[in-house]
Chains A and B, each alone.
Chain A
Amino acid sequence: MVKPIQKLVDELPTGGITVSALRALDFVVPGQWQNLVGFDNTIKAVTMEEDPALIQQIGERAIYLYNDESQGYQRAQWLYETVDSAASALGAAALANKVGENISFLGFLSNLTPKPEKAQSIDLSIKLVVEVVAFCQINGIPGDSIGDFVSALADYGGESLMRMAALVCFDGLIPLGPDFILKAGSTINNLNPSDLTNNPVFKSVSSLIPGGSPAGQLGFIGQSFDNVKGWMGDFVSSRNLTPEKVVNNLQNFVEISKDKLDYLGAFLDVTTNYYTHTGTQTLARRLIERAVAEI
């Protein structure tokens, strides 16, 4: 049985490595993310309503919508959770009791293995594709044209924008360096379908990636990457983002040695589940917006 949406939102953590790592990215998207947790709390924040009877009514409609599998919300949640590997979720849970302490990344170092550039590039592009697919599962394909759809994506804010900031920083800049878009782009262009089918992240979500066959899916992944690389490039350059700036901000909660950035990438991969965390928040928000409109 799937976990009820109200439980997923109620149980979102208020601390731990994922939350600390995301807070460290506030300088990238200032004020966009407040780590909204709790189902009723989210209803109040989204709708600006206070009346308990009305909150209950909105909550009930949201639960009906979520529980109806044909509405796509459960698939979106599954995608967000699955793309954060099982190992990351475990790592995050294990370290959740370290809140407030300075986590010694160096103590962890001997247990970490940086991902090869190829695997990291595939991870990055698959997370992007998951974003697009989850968006469509949650929102449908709104509007009347492709232009409408692109404008909906461009209007990302709040936790969705924070998720993209984390993707750029934690899965791009840190493990692959400042020219990560170029590196990942050229890796993806030279992939064979078998590279994809051997990748654990791809394997876990491949059933929901459009394309029909691994070759077709590779085409879809390449196209999606091409479509968003301009946006990512602007995101990085307009904020003058560098790996160093990201590391400086992460240093507020984790001891990092700057010559070990590839290990830092592996550390963040194992210890955070930012797709699940912010994905649950995005889903709850959109679900609640629909529920309050429909009652």
Chain B
Amino acid sequence: MNTAMFSPRWLKILVPLMLSMTLVVTACGSSSTKTTKTPDPYKSVQNNKVPAVAKQAVDGSKFNRFFPSAGDGYKTIPAQEKKGFAEYKLNKGTKTVAMFSISDTVSVPDAAAKFKGSTKKIGGYPAVETGKTATSVLVADRFQAKVLSRDASFTKSDREAWLKKFNLSGLANVK
């Protein structure tokens, strides 16, 4: 066969196509070994089309100046900034040891509701522990400042100490 009659693009499409047909044949042959699928635990949320971020959420860029500045072997690196959310990494050397975030709970009312009945305070604001790695405070009943451990060396007391370094009273005045 004269392969020159096929352009490279055609070959690129043809060859995998032929190969994939072989795969289909192979796959059909082994269908009896398939296991039963477990139900999707996320099925109910998957079909929910509610916007993830509320219209009135504060722009993430307004949060940047309230994050702690690092130093002393630590470095903060901006990681994400979206409407209602801003996040920094805390690096020690080249290792990320924690994440800092500020979010507007107007989009996630449950995030604010979890502070109800909290007796603990950090920097004068209601504080909550979530799981084993997160500590957060709720400022002005709306903005959640959170510190999340990303290395075993970064403990609960580290999280609390760093939360105090956020400019929480400044954050309380964000409109």
Q: Are A64 and B48 in contact (CB-based, < 8 A)?
A: yes
Q: Do B110 and A49 touch across chains, with their CB atoms under 8 A apart?
A: no
Please determine whether B91 and A155 come into contact, CB atoms closer than 8 angstroms: yes
Taken together as a complex, chains A and B put the C-alpha atoms of A200 and B7 apart, in Å, by 14
Q: How far is the CB of A263 from chain B (nearest CB, A)?
A: 12
Q: Is the CB of B85 within 8 A of A63?
A: no
Are B133 and A49 neighbours in the complex by a CB distance under 8 Å? Answer: yes
Q: Which residue of A lies closest to B30 (CB)?
A: A97
B118 lies within 8 A of chain A by Cβ: no
Q: Does A251 contact B (CB under 8 A)?
A: no
27 CB-based A-B contacts, threshold 8 Å: A6-B40, A48-B132, A59-B41, A59-B42, A63-B42, A63-B45, A64-B50, A87-B13, A90-B16, A90-B17, A91-B15, A91-B19, A113-B8, A115-B8, A138-B80, A139-B81, A140-B82, A142-B87, A151-B77, A152-B78, A289-B87, A290-B80, A290-B85, A290-B87, A292-B134, A293-B85, A293-B87
B16 to chain A, nearest CB (A): 4
Q: Which of A29-78 contact B (CB under 8 A)?
A: 39, 47-51, 54, 56, 59-61, 63-65, 67-68, 70-72
Most chain A C-beta atoms within 10 Å of own C-beta, residue among B8, B78, B91: B78
- Note all chain B residues with C-beta closer than 8 A to A295: 108, 110-111, 130
Q: Which of B46-67 contact A (CB under 8 A)?
A: 46, 48-53, 60-61, 64-65
Q: For A72, what are the chain B residues with a Cβ–Cβ distance below 8 Å?
A: 82
A293 and B64 in contact (CB under 8 A), knowing A95-B19, A113-B8?
no
Q: Closest approach, in angstroms, between the C-beta of B63 and any C-beta of chain A?
A: 11
User: Which residue of A65, A140, A151 is within 8 Å of B52 (Cβ)?
Assistant: A65
Given contact pairs A113-B12, A290-B87, A63 touches B46 in the complex (Cβ within 8 A): yes
Does B142 sit within 8 A of A, measured CB to CB? no
Q: B70-99 interface mask toward A, CB cutoff 8 Å, 1 = contact, 0 = none?
A: 000000011111101111110100101001
- A contact residues around B64 at 8 Å (CB): 143-144
Q: Which one of A54, A96, A139 lies within 8 Å of B80 (CB-CB)? A: A139
What CA separation (Å) do A108 and B14 show in the bound complex? 13
Instruction: Note all chain B residues with C-beta closer than 8 A to A68.
Output: 51-53
Residues of B within 8 A of A93 (CB): 16, 20, 23
Contact A290 B26, beta carbon cutoff 8 Å: no
Tell whether, in the assembled complex, residue B53 and residue A71 are in contact, meaning their CB atoms are under 8 Å apart. yes
> Known: A90-B17, A91-B19, A295-B108. Contact between A142 and B48, CB under 8 A?
no
Check A151 against B111 for contact (C-beta < 8 Å): no
- Write the nearest CB–CB distance from A167 to chain B, whole angstroms: 20
**What chain B residues lie within 8 Å of A51 (beta carbons)?**
131
Are A142's CB and B79's CB within 8 A? yes
B146 and chain A: residue at smallest CB distance: A293
A94 adjacent to chain B (CB < 8 Å): yes
**A141 interface residue, CB < 8 Å from B?**
yes
The residues of A that contact B50 with a CB separation of less than 8 Å are: 64
Q: Is the CB of B12 within 8 A of A139?
A: no
Contact in complex: B16, A270 (CB < 8 Å): yes
With an 8 A cutoff between CB atoms, is A111 at the interface?
yes
Bound state CA distance, A67 and B48, in angstroms?
9
Q: How far is the CB of B105 from chain A (nearest CB, A)?
A: 8
Give A88 to B16 CA distance when docked, in angstroms.
8
Residues of A within 8 A of B86 (CB): 142
Distance in Å: Cβ of B59 to nearest Cβ of chain A: 10
Residues of A near B13 (CB, < 8 A) are 87
With A and B bound together, what is the CA distance between A85 and B15 in angstroms? 14
How far does the alpha carbon of A94 sit from the alpha carbon of B16 in the complex, in Å? 7
Query: Any chain A CB within 8 A of the CB of B3?
Result: yes
Contact of A155 among B51, B81, B89, B149 (CB under 8 A): B89
Whether A142 and B23, one on each chain, are in contact in the complex, defined by CB atoms closer than 8 angstroms, is no
In the complex, what distance in Å separates the CA atom of A6 from the CA atom of B41?
Answer: 10
Task: Please report the C-alpha to C-alpha distance between residue A295 and residue B49 in the assembled complex, in whole angstroms.
Answer: 18
1/0 contact string of A6-42 vs chain B (CB within 8 Å)? 1000000000000000000000000000000001000
With A155-B91, A290-B87, A293-B101 in contact, do A140 and B42 touch (Cβ < 8 Å)?
Answer: no
In this assembly, does A110 line the interface, its C-beta being within 8 Å of a C-beta of chain B? yes
